[in-house]
Amino acid sequence: TVLSVTMAIGSHKLSQQSAITKRMTAIEEMAGMDVLCSDKTGTLTLNKLSIDKNLIEVFAKGVDKDYVILLAARASRVENQDAIDAAMVGMLADPKEARAGIREVHFLPFNPVDKRTALTYIDAAGNWHRASKGAPEQIPPPLCNCREDVKKKVHSCIDKFAERGLRSLAVARQQVPEKSKESPGGPWEFVGLLNLFDPPRHDSAETIRRALNLGVNVKMITGDQLAIAKETGRR
């Protein structure tokens, strides 16, 4: 009975700090915690992505950084966006540019297996195209069968971004001469590499410091590169 009353008081105090207790025994379990594993994106960071246009790397001939951004925006949702889609479309002068002059045929949403999105669309001349953005190692086929020197440059750029705490996002394009959304399309062309910065939350450092003072070690859980995790921790 005494234990139940004590935990009830603890639950009430937690509710005053906007923490809801769904299971009373969780309070006792939390009191014995010595390691806290925290997700990085959206927990330690704001999950509000930004892009440094000056750092965008262009690999396709005859295109500029604005075109890389436009392709990435086309390969994004214009409604019900996630953080990456919002960042891509937000780089345009007008969000409507993402679908201007084209007719959307099919959108492939992000999934954990493919790790990319893609839009099949028809341009004003009636030609079919496909734009894709995603993890550099997942753009089909890997890095679009680039030459070895190009692959080395891409990996060098990715490592350079990671050391600065920036995630890499690859952008590719292809033509779809069969004019069918089910068609695999022609050869993919690797167009460019974007950088994504996700700033730490303003209170992350203080929260971690308080946890350490209470004897709780904090571990960061992330699918990003080790260099990105280290730079996030340093910030």
β-pairing verdict for 103-108 and 189-196:
unpaired
Q: What share of the chain is helix, strand, coil (3-state, %, to 5)?
A: 40, 25, 40
Q: Which residues, including other chains, have CB under 8 Å from residue 159's CB and lie 6 or more apart? A: 227
39 is an active site residue: yes
- The token duo for 90 is 């937000």
Q: What is the largest CA-CA distance in the chain?
A: 78
List the catalytic residue out of 39, 52, 123, 159. Answer: 39
Distance CA 153, CA 171 (A): 15
Question: Got the DSSP string for 10-66?
Answer: HHHHHHTTT---S-THHHHHHHT--EEEEEIIIIIB----B--GGG-EE-STT--HH
- The token duo for 71 is 């392709």
Which residues belong to the active site? Answer: 39
